Structure 1
């Protein structure tokens, strides 16, 4: 196995062993909080980042504005649109964007390529920039010996996937910044993640790495190139699996879900919630699996087991919402916590987290009808609407972890925007300061002391990351006031601190619009518009939950979808672009863009949107099949395969921080099959079966890596999906109430179909796509009155029509006849 550690010590041929690659180990990729959490040999311990590094670095994008004003040098990245590439536009490194100009230069000079991949809100990407890419000695080595290429992994996930997969397969892990050396024909030679500029703790510094790569290129080029070619060949074979059969064996889906739930249960943290140890990442697909499993257990009359699983989910979501990973003042969630108690986060906020987390809090609210979960969902969505949505409805990508402590500060610090001193709280809140400090564990010495992992280098000494450690009702009693009054005061205090925080230098906003992440977030806005209508009358909403009418959320989702259709979809070719910033990106849409957007559009339709969204989803599914489906071997590739510079087409299955495109596609196909009829429905199901057959071994042997795919497999195995057919005049009060009732209960194996028989366009859609639905709409039309009628259909039988929300909810709660 190639190891970067060999760069430190040896120039003999043994330094570059070229034995065949092992079977790739595709592990969860995490952005390292500590600089020496690298993709190196497992024999090396993981080091914590040294204090000296912290005090020198943390100079993120915002500080580059002043640098660029005094720095006349501008490189090729200045012509790019990506915020990440623009952050490096004034480095003295002679950067190229990914493309033929760079490749041709490497061939002409006969030198290797240094490929650096990151994203604009990546803390350790900023660190490596300041330490190395603004270091004259490093700059000279890079410019003299290499062609250097910068890639935004959010703009070109296809390029990132190739070389991240290589690093993960060889070293067992990866992260960003990703640093990989390539031959001029783009084969990987060796790679890692973050490198400090100089040798430390017995590990190679970046200057040492550059010198050793140069030496190896000059003296052992043939071996390096052969090894890189072999690596790509073996990875291509491993990641392009084909199905040995047309469908998965009967019973595999139940086995996979049971296995995944058992493994997650074994890793459950009963003290702080969540699955696994620190650092703790929210992984919504795990919650989705556990909720799905709970529903299965209930259906099998195993209520005790179901309750035990549900309690794990409830406690985990409460701990997350009460922890510092949740922004109590502005709403939304940070990327992950470095400790086991969800307290001190890595402070960046990513859009793919927000949509998924909002959805799982919605799911739990639909099960428990507890306002804690609905209000948490609301504060996520209100944060997105307030801070992350553009003027035309577009939803942005991320906010940085780093920011300046004050205007004009020469350097940025991680979390500066979010942390507070006890004195600041006293001055801002006055008479209510003590109540607020009790509630959020605020202390003069700082509160990052709950775990030795929280702040090992005293970065946050004297600072407080807000965390709720006690139940509000207990604290309200301690302060001698009713709970409603107590929560109202807390909300007022949060608003005051939020207003003060607005005066601080804000973290950098990555205003790139990514189709896939918009799709996940559109799904959450759509579902919230109906599920949150079930909140009890009189539910209190305290800042940052603004307590809007849930129907406003549907409007946010539809505006985002309309932006994507106008700016990132070609009506002629029916193809998507991947992202938008000052115009569509050069990169085409990838599998996740199609799959996640289809998911969002299906939810827009089912939650009250026009059949136009459903028509678009069907069109996108056709294009997805055309571009990505392996029609012979089954499964979807992650790229269209039309760019020769992208060396791997991967059939990805891992459900990580984002679900895999294949998992989501199976669910989409199951849902589409329940909306249309005849041969088209059968075709959708057949494709879903074939996809799952590709990943049979993964489902059987490593179910915990694919929790959403486990759910997808079971959804496909359900003999008859429940259909709720609602007929009525859209936007009438009765219709809206009935539609909310159709979505009120948690039922993952349910499709909601709504038809307005007075709308000619809708009737035409159903006559063309599902004549049975069109006939049901005609038969149950109430003429000109406002009455809405619902039928629940399953096992080829429909219930008698009902016209009240309570009757519909009662119908949906019945177990199907065996």
Structure 2
């Protein structure tokens, strides 16, 4: 026997290629081997940036005695949850059903047919060794009970992802309920929702911003501002280099779990950019600008595309790169600046993290009106960042995930046009080019690539939705009809191969690999669900190109998740965001102009209603329906404001356009 991970494309699997465990990659051959040997399967699921995945690997999978028990009694399969979200979804549902909770690493014992009969997450070495022996004994001596348990679990998880409650079309009342549900769960002291651990509520923020735009709700805007401020000042945000960590282990956003994920930062970039669009707060813009810079600087890969994540650990120690003591600040900055930085970043002798060290938080604003203070702040950050670069650095998971890069395309496109950042605008287009050229193979999406080579796993629904939405964002900022056509291609595949036949969507295609059950989770979690991502693209495409069938498909799918709006709005943030756009129209704005920097263009972007699609370009651009038959009026840039392809009188004056959009 031998470890079979050496030729994997996944950095997570490659981390385990030297284990004494005889790991298999997920494959039919692995299950066939289990049937041949008549042994159960261990399915170990994790991801490269996962701290506790590393701990279990060091304690158990690198141990020769533990490995011998695994090799003698089981077929061991290692799965990267980011590469195979379909496999992860099936077994995470089983784990949650059996234990009441989930997480990674996920440890699943299954029959040779893949039916899970015992599930858990992280196990310390002694407990894991005992568990291996117990499961092995049960397989040999109580086989009938084990098989019965597996069949019952499969039956249970087959219906576990259905949304309960009566469905209804999207309405203002339902979206008001969603907002009220979020208000009830708002942490009025620390911002965000719920207690520890606390995750950045990016999708709920996007929904509440659109809700505020539609209704004028001051509370919705205040909730978003509160979360944005507390996160931006907290340890969850990298105060030196920008970018957000995955979550905070406390309720105050002080100490993060240090991994930085592409999807979190893409979604937070959108949230901060859209908040700045509404309130113009320079602090919010700074966080957006630095987050965009983090994406391009720290996650950009040489072959194109953005890497998935930065690890939580460096040299096997969580947070080693990021934490500071007062003495370390003085050592780098000198006595005066070191003490000033300790006060500014709340670094104390007691510490907020481990061994008397602290995670940097921002105690107060730096007054931009005082140039000397800004210069000192800039100098301190640069010197600390330079010193930090000499420390051990977290590893990077450099695989390119289609859906997460799609999220980044949309975020960077929005940041580019709203803030005027040419770097973000260019990056959005270049990322879209990578996805189109590398991940779109024979008309179908592939999930991952690495070092310029596309992997085998097929794209899941979230890939089609997020990439299509990204292509539509690039269509809007370039007025290039090619991107509209590519988005249509993806949407047509999704409608043809992922639909349930009853308005909903499965997460895997009808011709994808068959698992023990076909996942169909409509809830938004760390990322938008496949359903909500696809619906976002369908609504935008229908507005940009017409075609009632795409809008009808979006409306039917949204009906499936409206029960979540009332009682579980935190798990329907993205679908509620899309629903706000759908309820508003969305508006369609075409600005016919040869000057993309005209004030009329800026007014359209700044004051557009929720979910508006905007295309700026010369009249009658080929492949751009919104610019068809939209001439300049009196030789001036001209805005056409439409809703459902019914248009108001053309506008050439920015003030008049602003008044119309506000009205």
Secondary structure of 2:629's partner? helix
Which residue does 2:338 correspond to in 1? 433
In 2 relative to 1, CA 163–121 (structure 1 residues): closer, same or farther, beyond 3 Å? same
Secondary structure of 2:591's partner? strand
Which residue does 1:28 correspond to in 2? none
Secondary structure of 2:93's partner? helix
Q: Tell me the distance in 1 between the aligned counterparts of 2:394 and 2:96.
A: 30
Q: Verify: 1:493 aligned to 2:380, yes or no.
A: yes
Which residue does 1:574 correspond to in 2? 443
Note if contact 1:400-1:509 (Cα within 8 Å) is conserved in structure 2. Answer: yes
Question: What whole-Å deviation, never above 9, does each CA across 1:114-168 have from its counterpart, x for those lacking one?
Answer: 1100011110000001111122221111011101110111111111111001111
Which residue does 2:43 correspond to in 1? 115
Q: CA RMSD in A?
A: 2.2
Q: Tell me the distance in 2 between the aligned counterparts of 1:243 and 1:620.
A: 31
Give how far 1:748 is off.
Answer: 1.4
Which residue does 1:9 correspond to in 2? none
Pick one of 135, 144, 148 that aligns with 2:72: 144
Which residue does 2:610 correspond to in 1? 748
Q: Tell me the distance in 1 between the aligned counterparts of 2:59 and 2:608.
A: 50
Give how far 1:314 is off.
Answer: 0.7
Q: Tell me the distance in 2 between the aligned counterparts of 1:795 and 1:218.
A: 65
Pick one of 273, 278, 300 that aligns with 2:191: 273
Compare 308-317 and 180-189 and name the one that shifted more: 308-317
Q: Tell me the distance in 1 between the aligned counterparts of 2:596 and 2:592.
A: 13
Alignment of 1:73-472 (within 5 A): 75-198=3-126, 205-239=127-161, 249=168, 253-298=171-216, 306-404=217-315, 412-430=316-334, 431-443=336-348, 445-448=349-352, 455=353, 460-472=354-366
Which residue does 1:565 correspond to in 2? 436
Question: What whole-Å deviation, never above 9, does each CA across 1:235-262 have from its counterpart, x for those lacking one?
Answer: 2234367999xxx535x53333222222
Larger Rg: 1
Q: TM-score, normalised by structure 1?
A: 0.77
Give how far 1:419 is off.
Answer: 1.1
Note if contact 1:523-1:604 (Cα within 8 Å) is conserved in structure 2. Answer: yes
Give how far 1:307 is off.
Answer: 1.8
Q: Tell me the distance in 2 between the aligned counterparts of 1:259 and 1:164.
A: 29
Q: Verify: 1:780 aligned to 2:632, yes or no.
A: yes
Q: Tell me the distance in 2 between the aligned counterparts of 1:332 and 1:745.
A: 27
Which residue does 1:671 correspond to in 2? 540
Which residue does 1:604 correspond to in 2? 474
Give how far 1:230 is off.
Answer: 2.5
Note if contact 2:66-2:129 (Cα within 8 Å) is conserved in structure 1. Answer: yes
Give how far 1:463 is off.
Answer: 1.3
Unaligned 5+ runs, structure 2: none
In 2 relative to 1, CA 269–703 (structure 1 residues): closer, same or farther, beyond 3 Å? closer
Give how far 1:795 is off.
Answer: 6.8
Q: How many residues align?
A: 661
Which residue does 1:716 correspond to in 2? 582
Which residue does 1:790 correspond to in 2? 639
Give how far 1:810 is off.
Answer: 3.2
In 2 relative to 1, CA 587–781 (structure 1 residues): closer, same or farther, beyond 3 Å? farther
Secondary structure of 1:744's partner? helix
In 2 relative to 1, CA 210–645 (structure 1 residues): closer, same or farther, beyond 3 Å? farther
Q: Tell me the distance in 2 between the aligned counterparts of 1:801 and 1:610.
A: 23
In 2 relative to 1, CA 793–716 (structure 1 residues): closer, same or farther, beyond 3 Å? closer
Which residue does 1:691 correspond to in 2? 557
Note if contact 1:243-1:695 (Cα within 8 Å) is conserved in structure 2. Answer: no
In 2 relative to 1, CA 173–629 (structure 1 residues): closer, same or farther, beyond 3 Å? same
Q: Tell me the distance in 1 between the aligned counterparts of 2:201 and 2:278.
A: 20
Compare 793-802 and 186-195 and name the one that shifted more: 793-802
Question: What whole-Å deviation, never above 9, does each CA across 1:175-211 have from its counterpart, x for those lacking one?
Answer: 000000010011111110000012xxxxxx0011111
Pick one of 401, 406, 424 that aligns with 1:519: 406
Which residue does 1:407 correspond to in 2? none
Give how far 1:665 is off.
Answer: 1.9
Q: Tell me the distance in 1 between the aligned counterparts of 2:570 and 2:268.
A: 19
Q: Tell me the distance in 1 between the aligned counterparts of 2:325 and 2:561.
A: 51
Q: Tell me the distance in 2 between the aligned counterparts of 1:585 and 1:280.
A: 33
In 2 relative to 1, CA 342–362 (structure 1 residues): closer, same or farther, beyond 3 Å? same
Give how far 1:673 is off.
Answer: 1.4
Note if contact 1:728-1:781 (Cα within 8 Å) is conserved in structure 2. Answer: no
Note if contact 2:73-2:136 (Cα within 8 Å) is conserved in structure 1. Answer: yes
In 2 relative to 1, CA 93–797 (structure 1 residues): closer, same or farther, beyond 3 Å? closer
In 2 relative to 1, CA 399–782 (structure 1 residues): closer, same or farther, beyond 3 Å? farther
Q: Tell me the distance in 2 between the aligned counterparts of 1:149 and 1:436.
A: 48
In 2 relative to 1, CA 256–484 (structure 1 residues): closer, same or farther, beyond 3 Å? farther
Note if contact 1:520-1:596 (Cα within 8 Å) is conserved in structure 2. Answer: yes
Give how far 1:664 is off.
Answer: 2.1
Note if contact 1:181-1:191 (Cα within 8 Å) is conserved in structure 2. Answer: yes
Q: TM-score, normalised by structure 2?
A: 0.95
Give how far 1:470 is off.
Answer: 3.1
In 2 relative to 1, CA 97–738 (structure 1 residues): closer, same or farther, beyond 3 Å? same
In 2 relative to 1, CA 739–722 (structure 1 residues): closer, same or farther, beyond 3 Å? same
Secondary structure of 1:76's partner? coil
Unaligned 5+ runs, structure 1: 1-72, 199-204, 299-305, 405-411, 449-454, 477-481, 534-549
Secondary structure of 1:149's partner? strand
Secondary structure of 1:674's partner? helix
Note if contact 2:312-2:319 (Cα within 8 Å) is conserved in structure 1. Answer: yes
Question: What whole-Å deviation, never above 9, does each CA across 1:296-332 have from its counterpart, x for those lacking one?
Answer: 332xxxxxxx223322211211010000100011110
Which residue does 1:594 correspond to in 2? 464
Q: Tell me the distance in 1 between the aligned counterparts of 2:600 and 2:164.
A: 45
Q: Tell me the distance in 1 between the aligned counterparts of 2:260 and 2:402.
A: 17
Which residue does 2:530 correspond to in 1? 661
Give how far 1:739 is off.
Answer: 2.9
Note if contact 1:734-1:788 (Cα within 8 Å) is conserved in structure 2. Answer: no
Which residue does 1:60 correspond to in 2? none
Give how far 1:746 is off.
Answer: 5.6
Note if contact 1:240-1:650 (Cα within 8 Å) is conserved in structure 2. Answer: no
Note if contact 2:108-2:116 (Cα within 8 Å) is conserved in structure 1. Answer: yes
Q: Tell me the distance in 2 between the aligned counterparts of 1:122 and 1:495.
A: 29
In 2 relative to 1, CA 774–296 (structure 1 residues): closer, same or farther, beyond 3 Å? closer
Note if contact 2:23-2:77 (Cα within 8 Å) is conserved in structure 1. Answer: yes
Q: Tell me the distance in 2 between the aligned counterparts of 1:279 and 1:266.
A: 18
Note if contact 2:99-2:119 (Cα within 8 Å) is conserved in structure 1. Answer: no
Question: What whole-Å deviation, never above 9, does each CA across 1:398-429 have from its counterpart, x for those lacking one?
Answer: 0001003xxxxxxx210001112222211222
